[in-house]
Chain A
Amino acid sequence: MSYTGTAHKVGEHIDTDAIIPARFLVTTDTRKLGENCMAGLEEGWVKRVKPGDVMVAGRNFGCGSSREHAPIAILGAGMPVVIAHSFARIFYRNSFNMGLLLLEVGDEVDKIADGDTVEVDAAKGLITNRTTGATITCPPLPASMRELLDKGGLVPYVREKLA
């Protein structure tokens, strides 16, 4: 499970209203939510994102309302991974259950700047900043969680387990 892409850096305490404002909650369509990803932070923010890019954030990313639309919007924008100093609890669970990989790295998040190219190896627990050569280690993602993400989240995961 590895990804390489451009880092898009956002600040601290980014709440779910910044990730996907309530006015866009009229749909659960991944692509449509993705088109408005981070619109609560900056109109048109998402235009900078190419599929496979990586979101990088400060402390307490995903705080606020527990809407499951927030991780879907990030996935819909084409970003399969968020690296942050830390995450809010409900957002953390929702993300894995929706199929979005989160890596919590504490202060080491400062080793990544906006626009850097980063490579993420979740199984090894290794993040490499291709631009600077810096590396960050985090606990390797257990096989069961990789499976959850591979299947695309909790609903398809359970569906397959039961089949």
Chain B
Amino acid sequence: MAHTLAQKILQAHTDEAIMAAGQIVRCRVSLALANDITAPLAIKSFRAMGAKKVFDRDKVALVMDHFTPQKDIDSAQQVKLTREFAREMGVTHYYEGGDCGVEHALLPELGLVGPGDVVVGADSHTCTYGGLGAFATGLGSTDVAGAMALGETWFKVPPTIRATFTGTLPRWVGAKDLILRLIGEIGVDGALYRALEFDGAAIEALSVEGRMTIANMAIEAGGKVGLFAADEKTLAYTAARGRKDAPLSADPGATYERELTFDVSGMEPVVACPHLPENVKPVGEVQGVTLDQVVIGSCTNGRISDMREAAEVLKGRKVAKGVRCIVLPATPGVWKEALKEGLIETFMESGCIVGPATCGPCLGGHMGILADGERAIATTNRNFRGRMGSLESEVYLASPAVAAASAVAGVIAHPGSL
């Protein structure tokens, strides 16, 4: 049978023959992940299971990224519990402090995930690694505990929706705009249960980092995974991180449940308006909306290409008076590279606040919380009511270029209009 990318990857991890969507299969996992919020719960389940050791100390990743540097006593306790578990189990990939970054930016950068892997994480944005061609999905803590103990889990083989992006990206339009456009089109439950598979000339032209930005938000359309074929760009990216991977693509003639095509030529940058990622409008329709805060970072857009995009707009310009522009490079690696390239200096000269590699304000955790009536534009992935602070605050989602331009203008703005 001709397999979609999702089916093909699962098939390589199971001894059962995958015949159709809907079938349940038991698969070996390449990596099991949890963070400072979900690991303590997974550890509790792991103990209840009577597990004494993790299935493979090199295939469990524990990343303390959400409320770190530990923002209060509770979060410090959570991290302490996880740290002690990691020591007890001899977990190789425990990250906290100076070697830690936002999990979904960190693991690809360290070469811990790659094409053909099956990755389960107790975090909904685990789907990010689909940008590299990994079947990666978020599960509950008990599920991840099972995978940490056994090295396997079960999946219902998902049907696949294929999204083809044709044409050439106009100036100031990038990966974030493509995924927001797709979510705007199909809605926050448009890919419920399903695998999304991305292809087309515009996708081939994207950087690997851009593909991860798109895969990251597959969950915002309800998707289980967001997958990209592994081409030369992917292989160059993972090889530079010490991996040896093979090209990967869907079988010709694979069956898709639905096929969507988008022409990106002539597209305008877009933003998602409060309070759902599907409320997508061209930036031109919302320009002029006043802002209190701008956040550039997160697992969606906190990588080096995002820092470059923001710095390009901010260079030689100033953040508008009365606006807090918070820049959080997503990993120490991104931070160092941004420093080397002079981007950090650009941010500081513009009047940005440059912070550590943490999730921080993305989930309303710390380092930039909104008060009643405040409004932010962010390069993050969710704008649910209260996500960044007060229930009376508002978040708009956009690309680094639009966020940076808006910081300068003090209102939502098109980067080409400055």
Contact = CB atoms under 8 A, between A and B. Distances in A.
A145 interface: yes
Interface in B109-147: 139-140, 142-143, 145-146
Given A139-B22, A142-B16, A142-B25, A158 B154 contact: no
A68 B140 contact: yes
Counting chain A residues whose Cβ lies within 8 A of the other chain, the interface size class is 20 to 34
B140 A155 contact: no
A94 B139 CA distance: 10
Contacts of B20: 139
A88 B26 CA distance: 20
A159 interface: yes
A103 B222 CA distance: 21
Interface string B1-36: 000000000000000100010111110000000000
Contact of B154 (A90, A94, A148): A148
Interface string A145-162: 100100000110111011
* Most chain B CB inside 10 Å of its own CB: which residue of A142, A158, A162: A158
A144 interface: yes
A92 interface: yes
A92 B140 CA distance: 12
A66 B141 CA distance: 11
B49 A155 contact: yes
Counting chain B residues whose Cβ lies within 8 A of the other chain, the interface size class is 20 to 34
Contacts, number: 63
B149 A162 contact: yes
A162 B154 contact: no
B176 interface: no
Interface in A106-159: 139, 141-142, 144-145, 148, 154-155, 157-159
Contacts of B146: 97, 154, 157-158
A89 interface: yes
* Most chain A CB inside 10 Å of its own CB: which residue of B49, B52, B193: B49
A161 B23 contact: no
B224 interface: yes
A137 to B, nearest CB: 13
Contacts of B50: 158-159, 162-163
B192 interface: yes
Interface in B189-216: 192-193
B150 A161 contact: yes
A158 B140 CA distance: 16
A54 B77 CA distance: 44
